[in-house]
Amino acid sequence: MILSQIGYYSLVFVLAISILILFYCFKQLKFLNKNYYLNLINLNFLQSLLVVISFSSLIFSFLNSQFINRTVYENSHTTKPFFYKFSGTWGNHEGSLLLWILVLIIFSLLFLFTSQKKEKKYLTLTLLFQQIIILGFLIFTLVTSNPFDIIFPIPNEGLGLNPILQDPALAVHPPILYIGYVGCSIIFSSSLAALMSQSVNGNWASHIKKWAIVSWIFLTVGIMLGSIWAYYELGWGGFWFWDPVENVSLMPWLTLTALIHSLAVIEKKSQLKGWVIILSISTFVLSVAGTFLVRSGILNSIHTFANDPQRGIFILIFLFLLIFLSLVIFFKFYKQDLNLNKLTFTNDLSILINNWFMMYFLSVVLIGTIYPIFLEVINNTKISVGPPFFNKLISIFLIPFLLFMGFGASLGWLKSNFKKIYLQNVVLFFVSIITSSYLFLFIGDKGLFLSLIMGGSIYLFLATIRDLIKKNKQNLSQRISHFGFSLLVLSILFNSIFSEEHNFNLNVGDKFKLEKETIFFQNISMTNDKNFKKVEGIFLIQSNNYKDIILKPQLRIYNQPVIITSEADILSTLYSDNFIVMNKIDDSNMFNIRYQKKPLMIWIWISTIIIVLGGTLTFFKDRK
């Protein structure tokens, strides 16, 4: 009771402070020329403190299983392990919104702390936009999704958390993704503020680039964690399903990646200003739109664990207000660059080409995700847009993209030694085409298109290695990230082309023979865990090529809510993953077994980590 009240009232105070800060911001803007300057850091600090108190009281309600709180009652259970009681705080709609607000406010404070030396008008405006966003989400939370609702009489037991969410990767996935999204809010506010105070310049670009990279790092890691989770928890053996909710997190990632590249052009050449502002706005709008699509439940997805159409309408209105506000500001304050230089074959052209492809990929993901919704509303026709659509439209364009990426990064900022670069790249290109052709000849008939795309990615791989081992230390972080990306594309390709998949039914004690391996279903055992029963199968996999492997996939029967999940067992090595998952077949003693060999699987994660490492390096470089 007391915890819920503390939580609720501190949140109300947070709202009050938000309004107060907005008021001071307006006042400050009005008297800007008269040396009137209030330091609003204290208020922001107080706001952060209160939101931390509010969030902590929700955490404690979850830890102590205080079922008087509706959110706790609906999403927790006394037998749940401690760690998942904790992570359950944000494993639901209300709690995750509160977390969003917490991150939003703390980020605003951090921004204020680190940018105190900036121009006052710019700072005040950024703060103003930031508080508008905070206010929007606060009202949304308090009106439609109060995490501190109370129920009487107090229930004895909670309803429990969806078991597929009870997982370590998924416990940290939302907070990390949120930090990424919320970081985009700073970019949004700051770019509008810079536009209004006429300070979109190289200085601003280097200043905001840090925030862009921080958000980008968290977004990348967040997406990766979700993908790892899907790989071992959903039991399908894939890592990316083009599920609407995955798409929604990919969209701001694409614009953010484009933004980071374009910011470099402003930094070096003071061009592309309008475009950078548009990218900053759309990155955050896409983040909020993502929240809308996930929370409103209009998407048919594995992720819609909490939804309510009314909430959707609220976020939709908020979204339109944001878009409207930013468009008005953009058209009112944006002035076309006067000294437009012609583009030459230098780095900025390659960055434009990067942006061009990023926008294409974005348009594919965007239209594929929202088109079915619109079609249903307009025409009452229900269609599905699934992996074949995305794969088709993206893979073809991947070939020129890979080539441009390999070629473009070797161009200089001012002028390029064109002949030398050209020759180098042509040689690399032919080496890659031949390698990929022979690879396919050696392995078997796999098609012209695949060998082209493989050729492209081998070319990029070689080109990024060439750039990586260059002597000068300029742009080291970019070179590492590009190398990581080429490794990622290569491992995804290898993985998808050379994966083996076997689907069969077995009785306990039976063997199943594959071409090179035998799978022996040795035994089955049943044990009780804290909040689920565990049925564990023991499989022996024998082959002439390697040592015997024992894999133990599980079926879990959770008590509250009663849900059966199947847990894959995976043996990861540097070369390949052995993945096995079993399912009970109804009205039969047999089990359905899915056994997969996935080459280079672990490299998909390793290369993503390399990409992120490249990004992190920018911060250490600056300190020197």
Partner 1 sequence: MKKILILIIIIYPTISFSVDNNKINKITKNLRCLICQGQSIYDSQSEFANSLKKVVEDKINENMTEKQIYKFLTDKYGEWILYEPEFNKNTYFLWLFPLAIFIFGGILIFKKKT
- Report the distance separating Cα 135 and Cα 140, nearest Å: 8
Strand arrangement, sheet containing 500-506: 500-506, 591-599, 576-584, 569-572
- The DSSP code for 35 is T
For the CB of residue 389, give the shortest distance to partner 1 in the complex, in Å.
6
Q: What angle do CA 273, 279, 280 make, to 5 degrees?
A: 90
Reduced to 3 states (helix: H, G, I; strand: E, B; else coil), residue 570 is strand
477 contacts partner 1 (rule: CB under 8 A): no
Residue among 360, 498, 504, 512 that touches partner 1 (CB under 8 A): 360
- Report the distance separating Cα 384 and Cα 8, nearest Å: 41
For the CB of residue 316, give the shortest distance to partner 1 in the complex, in Å.
21
Residue among 222, 244, 406, 484 that touches partner 1 (CB under 8 A): 244
371 contacts partner 1 (rule: CB under 8 A): yes
For the CB of residue 618, give the shortest distance to partner 1 in the complex, in Å.
27
Q: Choose between 271 and 491: whose C-beta lies nearer to partner 1.
A: 271
381 contacts partner 1 (rule: CB under 8 A): yes
507 contacts partner 1 (rule: CB under 8 A): no
301 contacts partner 1 (rule: CB under 8 A): yes
Range 330-349, binding partner 1 (CB under 8 A): 340, 342-343, 349
For the CB of residue 566, give the shortest distance to partner 1 in the complex, in Å.
8
Binding window for partner 1 (CB under 8 A); candidates: 16-24, 434-442, 460-468, 615-623: 434-442
For the CB of residue 244, give the shortest distance to partner 1 in the complex, in Å.
8
Tokens of 12: 């109300």
Helix (H) or strand (E) holding 591: strand 591-599
Residue among 49, 319, 359, 540 that touches partner 1 (CB under 8 A): 359
- Report the distance separating Cα 606 and Cα 610, nearest Å: 6
Reduced to 3 states (helix: H, G, I; strand: E, B; else coil), residue 84 is helix
384 contacts partner 1 (rule: CB under 8 A): yes
Q: 579: which strand partners?
A: 570, 596
- Report the distance separating Cα 466 and Cα 461, nearest Å: 9
For the CB of residue 20, give the shortest distance to partner 1 in the complex, in Å.
44
For the CB of residue 324, give the shortest distance to partner 1 in the complex, in Å.
23
- Report the distance separating Cα 347 and Cα 26, nearest Å: 41
Binding window for partner 1 (CB under 8 A); candidates: 98-106, 320-328, 373-381, 596-604: 373-381
364 contacts partner 1 (rule: CB under 8 A): yes
399 contacts partner 1 (rule: CB under 8 A): no
What phi-psi label fits residue 546: left (phi over 0), alpha (psi between -120 and 50 degrees) or beta? beta
Q: Burial-class residue 254 by CB neighbours within 10 Å (0-12, 13-18, 19+).
A: buried
Q: Choose between 252 and 614: whose C-beta lies nearer to partner 1.
A: 252
One-letter amino acid at 203 equals: N
- Report the distance separating Cα 586 and Cα 299, nearest Å: 30
Q: Choose between 382 and 419: whose C-beta lies nearer to partner 1.
A: 382
Q: Choose between 210 and 269: whose C-beta lies nearer to partner 1.
A: 269
575 contacts partner 1 (rule: CB under 8 A): no
498 contacts partner 1 (rule: CB under 8 A): no
Q: What angle do CA 587, 591, 596 make, to 5 degrees?
A: 150
Cα–Cα distances (Å) from 415 to 265, 345, 470, 472, 540, in that order, read: 14, 7, 18, 17, 61
Helix (H) or strand (E) holding 523: strand 517-528
Task: Note the Cα 29 to chain centre separation in Å.
Answer: 36
In terms of Cα–Cα distance, which of 261, 163, 177 is closest to 212?
261
474 contacts partner 1 (rule: CB under 8 A): no
Residues 403-432: x where in contact with partner 1 by CB under 8 A, - otherwise, as a string: ---------------------------x--
In terms of Cα–Cα distance, which of 253, 256, 249, 251 is closest to 279?
256
- The DSSP code for 381 is -
555 contacts partner 1 (rule: CB under 8 A): no
In terms of Cα–Cα distance, which of 136, 66, 69, 60 is closest to 105?
136
In terms of Cα–Cα distance, which of 288, 295, 299, 298 is closest to 321?
288
Residue among 136, 368, 406, 614 that touches partner 1 (CB under 8 A): 368
Q: Choose between 81 and 400: whose C-beta lies nearer to partner 1.
A: 400
583 contacts partner 1 (rule: CB under 8 A): yes
Residue among 46, 150, 375, 613 that touches partner 1 (CB under 8 A): 375
Residues in the chain: 624
Binding window for partner 1 (CB under 8 A); candidates: 104-112, 277-285, 440-448, 460-468: 440-448
Residue among 36, 83, 356, 575 that touches partner 1 (CB under 8 A): 356
Q: Choose between 28 and 354: whose C-beta lies nearer to partner 1.
A: 354
Q: Choose between 32 and 353: whose C-beta lies nearer to partner 1.
A: 353
**Site of interaction with partner 1 (CB under 8 A):** 236, 238, 241, 243-244, 300-302, 304, 340, 342-343, 349, 352-353, 355-356, 359-360, 363-364, 367-368, 371, 375, 379, 381-389, 392-393, 397, 430, 433-434, 437-438, 440-441, 445-451, 501, 503, 583, 585-586, 592
